[in-house]
Structure formats: C-alpha cells, structure tokens
Amino acid sequence: MPMNACFSNDSWHTGTLGCDPSAPFSRTLPMNPDSNQASTQARRTSRGFSLLELLVAMMIIAVLGTLGFSQYRKHSAQARYIKAGDELKIVAEGLDQYYLKHGSFPDFGSYDAMVDGNSSLVKESLIKTGMPAQDPFGQPYEGKSTRANYELKCNGDPNNQDDAGPIVRTPGDVRGSSPVSSPKGGAAPAGDAPAGEAGAKK
C-alpha cells in the first residue's frame, strides 16, 4: 500500500494512519523545544560584551593606570632627591680633601665656581669634572666657602617640602629630611664627618 506522507500539527502521519492525502502539504518541520533553547543559549554566549561591561572594564583600567602613574612619580621624585644629596656630598668631600692638603678651604663665592672646570677642586681632581650646577629638579645648587668654613645647599623637592625638604652640608653637619642625611638639626654620623672638621680639631 502506498504511503502518502504529510505533516500535521506536531505529528508525522502516513496514509495508513488516516492522513488526508488531499490536505495541503507542509514542509515546516515541528519545532523541538530542546533545540530551540540550546540555540538561544548559543546566541547569548556569542553575543560579545555589552556597553556597560566595556565601560566598567575601562574604568578599572583607568583607576589602575592612575595608581601606577602616581607611584611612578613618587619613586622618581625620591630618586632625584637622593641623587641631589649624593652630588652635594661629592662636592663637600672635595672641599674636605682640599682642607687636608692645604690647611684651609678654598674661597668660592658660589656653587657654580666650585664645579667650574677652572676650579681648584676640579684641577686637583678632588671632584669629578662635569658636576651639574643644578639639582635634578632643575633648581640651582647654592654654596659658598671661605678659608674657615663652607655651606652647600639643595632646596629639595619643590612639590614635597615636608618629606623632601632642603639639604644643607657644612663641615661636620648634614641637615635635611633626605634618606641620605641625618635627622634635622642633628650632626652627621661619625663615619661621615668631613675631614676638614677633623683637621680643624687637631
């Protein structure tokens, strides 16, 4: 017996099951609820990021970038401050060595004269050539010396005077808030006392 196939509602029928051969033939397959749900979930999974999710991610990146840049600036300023203290120390030690050789400090009216290429400190190789006249913050170093004394000064970090204030070097005394100096108003450690002061006490 020939089988006349047709689709009706949610069932598939043949002529043997009472299917009406004269009914319109539909090629639309019945919808499977399980396959429809799986297709919806797949579309949701592959839809990408929403605008809100992108904004949240960008906000997190911006906050992390701001914190990182702030820490970078802080450590950079600290490194420049320490470098300024080291440069003052080099010149101070050169003056101390000059005192040991000659029994007095050289006469200089400014810091620039101390580090100039024609300076007696440079000519006698007591300090290295090319010492900068400005600190790492772009401010000029200050200094003067007489036969009996000298004073060198760095104004410190202009944006953080509380933690990185001025550094002052005199014979036997280092003042400032730098990690390379002693507490404010205190004398330098015995091992760091300038040779000029030691010579003056003899």
Q: Which two tokens stand for residue 111?
A: 């810091």
**Percent of the chain with pLDDT strictly greater than 70:** 62
How confident is the model over 58-86, as a mean pLDDT? 88
pLDDT tens digits, one per residue of 117-130: 999 999 999 999 99
How confident is the model over 106-122, as a mean pLDDT? 94
pLDDT band for 201, please (50, 70, 90 cuts). very low
Q: What is the pLDDT of residue 66?
A: 84
Q: What is the value of pTM for the model shown? A: 0.57
| Distance of alpha carbon 132 from alpha carbon 167, whole angstroms | 16
pLDDT tens digits, one per residue of 139-161: 999 999 999 999 999 999 999 99
Q: Contact at 8 Å (CB) between 25 and 6?
A: yes
- Show the DSSP H helices in the chain as ranges: 33-45, 51-102, 111-115, 120-123, 195-201
Lowest-pLDDT choice from 31-35, 102-106, 171-175, 179-183? 179-183
Q: What is the pLDDT of residue 36?
A: 59
How confident is the model over 85-100, as a mean pLDDT? 94
Q: How many CA atoms lie within 13 A of 19 on its CB side?
A: 19
pLDDT of 189 over the 90 cut: no
Q: Contact at 8 Å (CB) between 157 and 79?
A: no
Longest distance between any two alpha carbons in the chain, whole Å:
134
Residue type, 25: F
Q: What is the pLDDT of residue 184?
A: 40
Q: What is the pLDDT of residue 48?
A: 74
**145: burial class by Cβ within 10 Å (0-12, 13-18, 19+)?**
buried
Q: What is the pLDDT of residue 30?
A: 54
Q: What is the pLDDT of residue 198?
A: 45
